[in-house]
């Protein structure tokens, strides 16, 4: 008797259930997969079949040409995150999944925002972009396009500020993320 952490007098009533709890926040999953045809289809198919919603999805190469990284965000209030990750792990091409802790993570997204701007308003848009650390990447007679990187919240704040000028369209990459510090994500 007497494992560390186990009471000497054992009571069934004291046992706590594990898993299935919905953690009501946004989760950023960083997934390493083998760079094989159809991997993304397997993952998106799994999500569709089990009724999980993907909020954002970004896929790209890693420093190893055989391995790709998928970064996805999903809503933990809607889906039991441990069940999502366990189902993903069953896919044989999935090598590693990291549910990144927000406070230990640097997450960035790239957005391109095309906004109505003529000679009168161009300067104002440009100033706003500068404040947010964005760059004007295209200027036309009646529009400008701003490139902005940052957190989801920052991009959304910038979007709100541009709306009064007339936001023509916005394209976002979805977040990519890396763990803070020396250790690998």
Q: Does residue 83 belong to the site contacting another protein (CB under 8 A)?
A: yes
Work out whether 49 is an interface residue with another protein (CB under 8 A): yes
Per CB under 8 A, 34 contacts another protein: yes
The residue among 16 and 183 lying less far from another protein, judged by its C-beta, is 16
End-to-end, the C-alpha distance of the chain in Å comes to 39
Distance from C-alpha of 148 to C-alpha of 103, rounded to nearest angstrom:
22
Which residues between 110 and 139 bind another protein (CB under 8 A)? none
Between residues 41 and 119, which has the closer beta carbon with respect to another protein?
A: 41
184 lies in the site for another protein, by CB under 8 A: no
CB nearer to another protein: pick between 34 and 156: 34
- Judged by CB under 8 A, the residue of 24, 41, 63, 184 near another protein is 41
Residue from 25, 53, 92, 142 that binds another protein (CB under 8 A)? 92
**What is the size of the binding site for another protein (CB under 8 A)?**
31
DSSP the chain: ---TTS-SS--GGG----S-----SEEEEEEEEE--TTHHHHHHHHHHHHTPPPSEEEEEE-SSTTEEEEEEEEETTTS-HHHHHHHHHTSTTEEEEEEE-GGGEEEEEEEEEEEE--TTTHHHHHHHHHHTT-EEEEE-SSEEEEEEEE-HHHHHHHHHHHGGG-EEEEEE---EEEESSSS--
The only residue of 29, 74, 94, 148 in contact with another protein, by rule CB under 8 A: 94
Q: Candidates 52-60, 71-79, 87-95, 136-144: pick the segment binding another protein (CB under 8 A).
A: 87-95
What radius of gyration do the chain's Cα atoms show?
22
Q: Which residues bind another protein (CB under 8 A)?
A: 3, 6, 10-12, 15-20, 33-34, 37-38, 41-42, 45-46, 49, 82-83, 86-87, 89-95
């Amino acid at each position: 008797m007497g494992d560390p952490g186990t009471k000497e007098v054992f009571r069934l009533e004291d046992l706590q259930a594990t898993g299935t709890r919905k953690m009501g926040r946004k989760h950023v999953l960083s997934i390493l997969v083998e760079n094989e045809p159809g991997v993304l289809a397997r993952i998106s198919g799994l999500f569709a079949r089990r009724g999980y919603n993907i909020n954002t999805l970004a896929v790209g190469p890693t420093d190893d040409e055989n391995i790709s990284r998928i970064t996805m965000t999903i809503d933990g209030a809607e889906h039991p995150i441990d069940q999502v990750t366990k189902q993903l792990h069953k896919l044989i091409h999935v090598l590693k999944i990291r549910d990144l802790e927000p406070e230990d993570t640097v997450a960035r997204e790239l957005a391109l925002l095309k906004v109505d701007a003529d000679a009168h308003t161009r300067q104002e848009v440009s100033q706003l972009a500068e404040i947010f650390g964005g760059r004007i990447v295209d200027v036309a007679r009646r529009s400008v396009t701003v490139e902005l990187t940052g957190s989801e919240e920052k991009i959304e704040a910038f979007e709100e500020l541009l709306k009064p000028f007339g936001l023509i369209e916005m394209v976002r990459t979805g977040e990519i993320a890396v763990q803070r510090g020396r250790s690998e994500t």
